[in-house]
Amino acid sequence: MKPTVIILGLVTFFSLAVQAKEEPQIVQGKLDNGLQYTILPLHEQSNRVDIRMRVKAGSVDENERQIGGAHMLEHMVFRGSQEYPQGVMKMLLDKGWKRAQSYNAVTNADTTTYMFSPPQGAKDLSFSLKVLDQMLFHANISQQDLDDERKIILEEWRSGQGVASRMNVQRTASIRADSRYARWPVIGTPQSIEAMPATELQAFYQTWYKPNNMHLMIIGDVQPQQVEAEIQQTFGKEQAQSLPLRNYRNPNLAERLQFNQLGDEKSAVSQIAYIFRLDDSAANAQTEEGRKLRLTERLALSLLSHRLQNQKEAFPQGVSALAVRKSDIGETTTAVGLFATVDGNAHQLGLQQIVTELARLQRYPVSQKELDEEKNRFISNWTLRPKAVKSDNSKIG
């Protein structure tokens, strides 16, 4: 259940959608207890179904006694439950389910997502929802199970202690400074994993694992009306609960210029970046204006990327590439940066080239011709190679 799985999981989850011959009709709704659901019927692959339950709680919601607790809880709900006291995972394995293929889960700063791809497809939909209900609302979370599971979690921590992980911790602390996101890694620390009592995981579970803090997504060879009835029957009985105020999901933005030096002796990449942090709440709005702004941002980033590619031959020796990247760093805050890949210690040259490109952009704004070409590329790519999920290569951290 490693954090990287979510990218592959989401790509798999949505890739079916873009293969459909006709645009599928998405069905969205909400139960009386606040549980949101989205159903996407696709009949291209007979009987296939993929299920994702997203709990809107992650490491950013932990207190100082729960460091790494959201991720540990993700493990624990696969242990015993009211109906499966011997363990949900054991029961699934006994039924022929395979870890990482039939079921998985991932925790990040904001969410914890549980992913099911039942071996028998839609035939197992009712069973799968029942299992999720047991995991997310009726888990036992015993001290004995936790003592057994923490060995697995510690090994997961050890296996993730490479250069990429160490650099990511530094990037997060820099880009998400002045926020809860920079406090500690999602997986926690060896000390917090060793010391975590079951009572703290139970408290996190009772606080955040509520239907009004969840979003269920089902895609595949299903009939929406039948699925809605299954969702109501399975989850409708669970009780909503008031959630704590979360006014900490954005970094504190300030008008200042900050310098950070990141490094690792085993890192093989040399870069310098100039990053802007900004309030992007208007583009995050689920309105027509918000959608227009998101499209505008996407076109602008793509257009700037093409400009930088066209300028590559003019880069000075020692600067091999320039890229523009954008990433959410909070609920409504965004980081946009220019990144220069340089040879050795040519960071000063990289910074000079970044400043040159920013000045060039101010001096030569986007022309109508460039915009028309970018629109045509966008439409062509959407028609020929539509993608519902973009690669993470364009993200900052």
Tell me, what CATH number does 345's domain have?
A: 3.30.830.10
pLDDT top residue among 235 and 268: 235
Q: How far apart are CA 25 and CA 28, in angstroms?
A: 10
Res. 385: pLDDT tops 70: no
Confidence band (pLDDT; 50, 70, 90) for 269? confident
**Predicted pLDDT of residue 179:** 93
Do 322 and 193 fall into the same domain?
no
pLDDT digits (tens, 9 = 90+) for 97-138: 999 999 999 999 999 999 999 999 999 999 999 999 999 999
Contact in structure between 58 and 186 (CB atoms under 8 Å): yes
Res. 144: pLDDT tops 60: yes
**Predicted pLDDT of residue 9:** 32
Question: For residue 3, which of 68, 71, 101 has the smallest C-alpha distance?
Answer: 71
Report CA dihedral (155, 158, 164, 167) to the nearest 10 degrees: 130
**Other C-beta atoms lying within 10 Å of the C-beta of residue 4:** 11
Rounded average pLDDT over 1-15: 34
pLDDT digits (tens, 9 = 90+) for 202-237: 999 999 999 999 999 999 999 999 999 999 999 999
pLDDT digits (tens, 9 = 90+) for 279-298: 999 999 989 999 999 999 99
**Predicted pLDDT of residue 396:** 55
Do 230 and 376 fall into the same domain?
no
Confidence band (pLDDT; 50, 70, 90) for 152? very high
In the sheet that holds 333-342, the strands lie side by side as 271-279, 333-342, 319-328
Q: How far apart are CA 287 and CA 298, in angstroms?
A: 17
Q: What's the domain count of the chain?
A: 2
Structure token pair of residue 336? 């946009």
Do 230 and 127 fall into the same domain?
yes
Res. 47: pLDDT tops 70: yes
Question: For residue 65, which of 158, 203, 176, 160 has the smallest C-alpha distance?
Answer: 203
Do 232 and 275 fall into the same domain?
no
Do 202 and 287 fall into the same domain?
no
In a domain, 392, yes or no: no
Do 207 and 321 fall into the same domain?
no
Secondary structure in 3-state letters for 276-288: EEEECHHHHCCCH
Question: For residue 353, which of 362, 369, 340, 335 has the smallest C-alpha distance?
Answer: 340
In a domain, 326, yes or no: yes
In a domain, 3, yes or no: no
Residue 128, CB half-sphere, CA atoms under 13 Å: how many?
Answer: 25
Do 31 and 138 fall into the same domain?
yes
3-class SS at 295? Answer: helix
Q: Give the phi and the psi of residue 253 in degrees, each rounded to 5.
A: -85, 140
Do 338 and 226 fall into the same domain?
no
Rounded average pLDDT over 3-8: 27
Report CA dihedral (191, 193, 199, 203) to the nearest 10 degrees: 110
Confidence band (pLDDT; 50, 70, 90) for 344? confident
Q: Which of 213, 236, 259 is the last residue of a domain?
A: 236
Question: For residue 172, which of 260, 301, 69 has the smallest C-alpha distance?
Answer: 260
Do 276 and 222 fall into the same domain?
no
Do 231 and 276 fall into the same domain?
no
The DSSP symbol for 46 reads T
Res. 260: pLDDT tops 80: yes
Domain that holds residue 96: 27-236
In a domain, 242, yes or no: no
- Report the predicted TM-score, pTM, of the whole model to 2 decimal places: 0.84
